Amino acid sequence: MLDKIKILRDEVDAFDASGMEEAEAFRLRMLSKKGLIPSLFQDFKSVDPADRKEVGRQLNLLKQAATEKVNSIKARLEAEAESKQSGQKRPDLSMPANFEPIGSRHPLSVTRNRINSIFQRIGFVVSEGPEIEDDWHNFSALNFPEEHPARDMQDTFFVRKNPDIALRTHTSSVQVRVMESQKPPIRTISPGRVFRNEAISARAHCIFHQVEGLYIDQGVSFADMKQCLLYFAREMFGEETQIRLRPSFFPFTEPSAEMDVSCNICGGPGCNICKHSGWIEVMGCGMVDPNVLENCGIDSRKYTGYAFGMGIERIAMNIYQIKDLRMFFENDLRFLRQFESAI
């Protein structure tokens, strides 16, 4: 029996086929119900009991070898047939790969990341909050009176006509949540998307992005805020950048100011970008109103702080000299592919 098995094993090992019909004929001859290998299994019962273990092992190895040989030949023949049909040669695995080009970042993402990085270098941490807010976090805690125009339907997107739930109109709501959940000192920035019911034009949109900052501690002064914002302006727009603060009004800060930076396009004489003034408005800022601190559970007699907020779109438009805000939202690949950044 072992001699027969060896003869068939040698035949299996030496077999090769040039076509499917030849491979199938070999399979039928060896492995079909009446094939040579099944017939050996039928003769196994006549093998001497002392030899059955070895004979059985060799029979199983023979069947396994024959099956693998047929399968491998058929797989090779199928691959060759597909290659001939497609008219393509086998791929050369030694050739270098064709890497897909790396996608570019959205200019708003590039600008936001730069702003975050600048403030993080001086100790600010990034805080985030929900885009759907209640009246307390979006208005009341920030010292907005009941009759303030920002509460009007023409400025705010209310949810299901519920006057207490709306899409946030600024990321100051995140600062309220931080003040409610943390004790001073607090040093945080809040980047995010905000919504206002405004007509869409080259200079306005119903959706835009903000970064707002907050610093609260003992002895914080207006001079501290000015130095912080001067550092930001020079890191963002260049070392020669100058700033100026103009008196303004915000319900949640007192005193309040608008901050302008010197135009980095014309350097001062005036151009279309700065409206021939030599200055570009970039953000609002001011000392946190004591009422806001008290609303959030912070002792205004012990702590003071400053806050600021800027539109990411406006910063990006100044840096990249983009004249139409709508371009940020149109997903035009010709526009977006111009921006690349490592951050």
| Residue 150: CATH number of its domain | 3.30.930.10
The structure tokens listed for 304 are: 């003071």
Q: What's the whole-number mean pLDDT along residues 163-186?
A: 92
Q: What is the pTM of this model?
A: 0.67
Among 95-104, 123-132, 243-252, 298-307, the range scoring the smallest mean pLDDT is 95-104
Radius of gyration from C-alpha coordinates of the chain: 38
Q: What residue spans of 121-267 are helical by DSSP H? A: 135-138, 172-181, 222-237
pLDDT tens digits for range 12-38: 888 888 888 888 888 888 888 888 887
CA-nearest of 66, 85, 77 to 20 is 77
| 195 domain residue, yes or no | yes
- What is the span of the domain harbouring residue 309? 107-336
CA-nearest of 263, 229, 231 to 245 is 229
Backbone angles phi, psi at 87, to 5 degrees: 70, 15
CB 330 within 8 A of CB 205: no
- Shared domain for 254 and 283, answered yes or no, is yes
pLDDT at 160 over 80: no
Instruction: Give the count of beta carbons closer than 10 Å to the beta carbon of residue 65.
Output: 16
pLDDT tens digits for range 269-279: 766 667 778 88
The rounded distance, in Å, linking the Cα atoms of 244 and 211 is 20
| 29 domain residue, yes or no | yes
The rounded distance, in Å, linking the Cα atoms of 210 and 124 is 16
- Shared domain for 179 and 294, answered yes or no, is yes
pLDDT at 181 over 90: yes
- Shared domain for 40 and 112, answered yes or no, is no
